Amino acid sequence: MKLGDMQQNPRHLINGRWEIGTTTGVSINPSDTREVVAEHARADRNQTEQAVRAASDALASWSHSNPQRRADVLDLIGSELLARKDELGKLLAREEGKTLPEAVAEVARSGQIFKFFAGEALRIPGELHASVRQGVQVDVTREPVGVVGIIAPWNFPFAIPAWKIAPALAYGNTVVFKPAESVPTCGWALSEIISRSGLPAGAFNLIMGSGREAGQTLVDHPLVNAVSFTGSVATGTRVLQAATARRARVQLEMGGKNPLVVLADADLEQAVDCALQGGYFSTGQRCTASSRFIVEAGVHDAFVARLRQRLATLKVGHALERATEMGPVVDETQLAQNLEHIAIARKEGAEHVFGGERLELATPGHYMSPALFLARPEHRIAREEIFGPVACVLRADSYEHALALANDTPFGLCAGICTTSLKRAMHFKRHAQVGMTMVNLPTAGVDFHVPFGGRKDSSYGPREQGSHAAEFYTTVKTGYMLA
C-alpha cells in the first residue's frame, strides 16, 4: 500500500502493524461537504483491547530504553513534522477547517513540541538528599507511569496529540492514542510518522473510533495506567469518574469561558486586535478563545463600534482559500449548537451587535458569520462555553467590577487584560482565578515550552507541556541506601 492510498484509507496501528477496522467511517471536509477526506478504520472494544495489550507488552523494552534513544526518536518525528508542515497543514485545513496559515503553524508547533521533548528525555530530573539517619543516603528518581491512553479532541488535531504523545514517550511510557472522530486522518498522519521513528513495536498504537466504544475501553481497561484527555466538561467528568474508580491517573483539559478585560486606559486598536484574534480566529474553536469581552464603561461604546467594524470585514470562507480569515465550523452538529446558543441569547434579551447567521458560500460548508452580542452576566451566552465564533460584551463600571466579572464563571483556563497601567496589570495577573494570564495579548496563543492548563472546571490534574509535563507522565521513587 502506498502512502497516498493509506491516507485515503487510514488504518489502526496495533503492535507495529497497520490493521483494518471492524467497521469503517468517513471524514468530510467542512469547507466543502462534497469532499470525503478519507474512509478510515474504526475499532470496537476488542480491537482497542489488542492495542492496550500491545502497549503493555512493549513497556518492558521502551521504559528501559536509554534517554539518547528516546531523544533520537522524538527528534526524528519533530524534524519530519517541520519538513512536511505545508503538506500536513493542508490536510489539517481540509479535515478540520482552520485556515491554511493556522494549520501550517499548528503542524510546525507540533514539530517543535517533539523537539522540545527530545531534549527533555535527556534532562529527566532527580534529587539527592541527606538522610535524617546517620550514614544513609536518599535519592528521588522518576520512572514512567506505564501505559498511557491519550484521548484527543478535534480542534487541534496535530498539536494536542503532540503535546500528550511526546512527553509520554520521552519519559518512557507506551501509548494508545485515540483521535477525535472527525479528524482521523490527521491522527493517522501523525501516527504514520511516529511509526517510522525507531520505536519498538507496540510502544505507540493508534486506534480510531467512537468515544463511547474505543475511548471508553481505554478509560476502563485495567492495563491503562494513566489517561490524558482533552474535550468537553461532560465527557471529561465521565472519564474522571470511570478512571479514578479503578485508581488510574487522570489529566483533563476541558472548557473555558475566557474573559478579555478592556480598561478605559487601554490602547483601543490593540484591544480590538486582541478581541478579534482571541475570539474569532480558528473559528473560535479553541479552549483558550475569549468569549467574554469585559469592557470598562468609558471605552465600551467605542470598543463595540470598532470591533463591529472589524467583524463586518472579516473574510469567512473555504479554509484553503488565500483570502480566508475565518474558516468553517468543524461539523453540522457544532454549527447547529452555535446557532442554538445565538437563538437563546436573543430570547434572553442579549442585544445583537453583529453576525451569527449561517452563510451560503460558493462551496457547501458549515459556514457562519462571527457573532457579537451585548449581554448581562446572567445570560447563558456569558456563562456557557459555546466553542464557536460567538462572543459577548459585558459592561464594567470599574477595574474592580471587571475583575469580579472575569472571575464570575465556573471555568478558569485563561484570562486577559488590555491596559496601559502596570499596577492594574500586575493586580489582574495575581487575582485572576485561572491557570494562564495575558496582558495586552489575545487569550489564545500560547508557547509550547511552559505549562498549559487551568483551574476550576477547566482542568484536572497536573499541567500539560513544558517540563511540568513530567508531573503527569512520571511517577516518583524514593531510594534509601546505607552508604
The set of catalytic residues is 253
Element (H, E) at 42: strand 36-42
Cα–Cα distance for residue pair 294/29, rounded to 1 Å: 35
Cβ proximity of 231 and 153 under 8 Å: yes
Min dist CB 263 to ligand TXE, Å, is 27
Q: Which stretch binds ligand TXE (CB under 6 A): 47-55, 212-220, 297-305, 353-361?
A: 212-220
The β-bridge relationship of strands 174-178 and 204-206 is: parallel
Q: Which amino acid is at 181?
A: E
In total, the chain counts a number of residues equal to 483
Intra-chain end-to-end CA distance of the chain, in Å? 59
334, 409, 443, 459: residue in contact with ligand TXE (rule CB under 6 A): 334
Q: Does 255 bind ligand TXE (CB under 6 A)?
A: yes
Q: Which of 11, 53, 164, 178 binds ligand TXE (CB under 6 A)?
A: 178
Interface with ligand TXE, residue 353, by CB under 6 A:
no
Please pick, from the candidates 47, 195, 205, 216, the single residue that binds ligand TXE as defined by CB under 6 A: 216
* CA within 13 Å, CB half, 73: 28
Cell of 24: 469503517
- Which residues touch 305 (CB under 8 Å, ≥6 apart)? none
- Candidate list 8, 15, 137, 232; residue touching ligand TXE; CB under 6 A: 232
Nearer to ligand TXE by Cβ, of 316 and 386: the residue is 386
Burial of 314 by CB count in 10 Å (0-12 exposed, 13-18 middle, 19+ buried)? middle
CB neighbourhood size of 42 (10 A):
20
Nearer to ligand TXE, 399 or 411 (CB): 411
| 238 Cβ neighbours under 8 A, 6+ residues apart | none
Q: Which is nearer to ligand TXE, 180 or 264 (CB)?
A: 180
Q: Which stretch binds ligand TXE (CB under 6 A): 37-45, 226-234, 302-310, 321-329?
A: 226-234
177 binds ligand TXE (CB under 6 A): no
Q: CB nearer to ligand TXE: give 181 or 192.
A: 181
Tell the smallest beta-carbon distance from residue 433 to ligand TXE (Å): 17
Contact positions with ligand TXE (CB under 6 A) in 126-155 = 151-155
Judged by the rule CB under 6 A, the positions of this chain that interact with ligand TXE are 151-155, 178, 180-181, 211-212, 215-216, 219, 230-232, 235, 238-239, 254-255, 287, 334, 337, 385, 387
